[in-house]
Structure 1
Amino acid sequence: MSDRDQTFAKVTQAIEPFNKKQAALTDDTSFARDLEWDSLTVMDFVAAIEDEFDIIITMNMQAEIETVGQLVDAVEKLKA
């Protein structure tokens, strides 16, 4: 399993408690469209990801991240 696959698994595991719609989670899953998250849910989830990976996701980065795949790539970049 590659590092990205491991990161994807951890990210999707972190999404589960917030996945009220039980949407299928792929690289293309959209936080706004598919999961229908509001801004408070996003903030709670970002905090959980930051704690899980010991990283900081800036507000500018958050604004650019729309899908699970983009988040996984951003986490991989920040971990490096």
Structure 2
Amino acid sequence: MPEQEILDRLAELIREQTEFTGAITADTAFRRDLDMDSLSTVELISATERVFDVLIPYEELDDFGSVGELAGYVAKLRTG
């Protein structure tokens, strides 16, 4: 699955979990732009794991500052 498709699906997941209605791009920051707290981030990671059938170690959560960083990580796991 191309990274852009992953990014688009992550945007859908984010909209399902938050009230954010603006554009979600690779540069969209979880905390700054989406105002996601730790719990919201964990919920998003859990949903991401289910949708993409990947395992993301929770100690790596702080490595994802933007939607694009998470999409890239998921892409790497899927091709891994």
TM-score, normalised via structure 2 length: 0.88
In structure 1, list runs of 5 or more residues that go unmatched: none
In structure 2, list runs of 5 or more residues that go unmatched: none
Contact 1:23 1:34 in 2 (8 A): no
Q: 1:34-53 maps to which residues of 2 (within 5 A)?
A: 34-53=33-52
Distance in 2, Cα, partners of 1:3 & 1:51: 18
Report the RMSD for the aligned CA atoms in angstroms.
1.4
Q: What SS does structure 2 have at the residue aligned with 1:6?
A: helix
Q: Which amino acid aligns with 1:79?
A: R
Aligned residues: 79
Distance in 1, Cα, partners of 2:63 & 2:15: 22
Distance in 1, Cα, partners of 2:76 & 2:20: 29
1:62 lines up with 2:61 in the alignment: yes
Which whole-Å deviations, capped at 9, do the CAs of 1:14-63 have from their partners, x for residues lacking one? Answer: 11112323232011100000000111111111110000001011123211
Sort the Cα spacing of 1:40 and 1:51 in 2 relative to 1 into closer, same or farther, 3 A. Answer: same
Distance in 2, Cα, partners of 1:42 & 1:23: 18
TM-score, normalised via structure 1 length: 0.88
Q: Percent identity?
A: 29
Distance in 2, Cα, partners of 1:26 & 1:79: 20
Q: What SS does structure 1 have at the residue aligned with 2:43?
A: helix
Distance in 2, Cα, partners of 1:23 & 1:41: 17
